[in-house]
Amino acid sequence: MELFALEHKRLWRTTRVWLCVLLCFVYSVVWGSVVWNQWPGFGSTNDSTDMYDNNFDGYSNIRGFQEEFSQFGDEWTDETLQKMVAKYQSYDPMNRPGLRSMGDWILASGYLNKLYPELEDPEGQEYQPLIHYVDTTKLTDFYQRRADLLEFTLETTRQNEGMSEADKQMLLDMNSKIKEPWPYEWTQGWSDLSFGWSKMAPYLAIALAFVFSGEWYSNTAPLLHTTKYGWKKLARVKVLGGMAFALEFYLLIAGGKVLVQLIYFGTSGWDLPVQYISLLAVAPWNMLQAELYQLAFGLIGMFGYAGLVMLMSALAKNNVLALVFSLAFVYVPDVLGRYLPKWLMAVSQYLPLVGNSYDYLSYNIFHIFGMSVWSPWMLITVPFLIGVVCIPFAIKGWARRQKV
């Protein structure tokens, strides 16, 4: 424990490490959460189309939206959609809220386009969004229309992408667990639950890529073999210290972003279904469950990536190579994505911090040992296993490099 404490303290005291943590905190929490919510993300708009010309009043503007859209009731029904569209049409055509504003007008407009395409006017208004002129009395059977569109979409996917009938039924069974009518309140604050985990990869790589290779750089590696602890214990302590750092780094960033979210949005909206993010999603989850998944995705990704980085550090005597190889796992799949075979691109999505944390909105299913597995569960399992597998190889790899 004493050796672990010393190694852990040594890692945190490194200028490179605390500077990375500070920069990531400023970028992700201060700018990406506080400033974003207060200014370009949710600040009130003016005549400019540039979101960076928004006013610096996000907190009060969010409260205004929450109060404004509470007038449409606490459940999403045909009447809710009708009232919302009618309210929009009641505004002066020259002063209607922009569909790109943080109001739920864009939500209603998107639903109209997907579920009521036959109501589009072929006589000259086709260049206007449907929400501008649709007859609200015809906006009925919302949930049945969604069910029909989902059935059609899944059948099309089955025919075009090789989805089996069993997979299609599995997705429909998941969808059947979604309770109707959906709870409703202002949704735009929950339209983006992403924590941007992949953006943390460079900071974590810079912090941990030198854990083993740095010993060669500072010419202390041979000396470590003469200590009373031995190379195996020292290597284990280094790995544990790196994993502890990854956990603390995660808690600092994730905790900061969640705290800011609670300040700006509160707990209002946790019970909203994820179908407000993607109409045809089949996951029977609410926003709180989706956010917990996002947090689990980040934690597992950070753990797995820390294992990968320390393995690269153990295999390379050069600090630069260790860092480049570590970053390659995250950025090469993105850069070369369209040039890679489809199967290889699919496999690369299960590398730590590479996959899409919104995969719970997709229809991806894998077949493993005769079992059908929904891909979101793979995304929080495979990166963890990669991290676990990397640890013993990092320890042994460091010893092998020492003997060469």
Question: What local confidence, expressed as pLDDT, does residue 220 receive?
Answer: 58
Angle, alpha carbons 18-23-24 (nearest 5°): 95
291 pLDDT higher than 90: yes
Write out the two tokens for 227: 């200590």
Residue carrying structure tokens 């709870």: 183
Flag whether pLDDT at 221 surpasses 60. no
Average pLDDT over residues 8-27: 94
pLDDT tens digits along 41-73 = 999 887 667 778 888 999 999 999 999 999 999
- The predicted structure's pLDDT at residue 47: 63
- Residue with the bigger pLDDT between 175 and 102: it is 175
Residue 222's pLDDT is what?
A: 54
Mean pLDDT across the chain, nearest whole number? 90
For the residues 306-323, what does the mean pLDDT come to?
92
Note the pLDDT of residue 369: 85
pLDDT computed for residue 402 by the predictor: 56
Contact in structure between 22 and 258 (CB atoms under 8 Å) = no
Residue 66's alpha-carbon distances to 39, 327, 364, 377, in angstroms, are 17, 41, 34, 33
What is the pLDDT, as a whole number, of residue 230?
A: 62
**Of 350, 335, 189, 347, nearest to 266 (Cα)?**
189
Q: Per the structure block, which two tokens stand in for 373?
A: 């597995």
Residues 170, 112: contact at Cβ < 8 Å?
no
Distance CA 26, CA 140 (A): 47
What does the pLDDT average to over 344-355? Answer: 90
**pLDDT in the model for residue 179:** 96
Q: For residue 393, what pLDDT is reported?
A: 93
* Contact indicator for 304, 384 with CB cutoff of 8 Å: yes
In the prediction, which pLDDT does 217 show? 57
Please give the average per-residue pLDDT across 3-24, as a whole number.
92
100 pLDDT more than 60: yes
Domain segments of the chain as ranges: 2-40+188-401, 65-140, 142-183
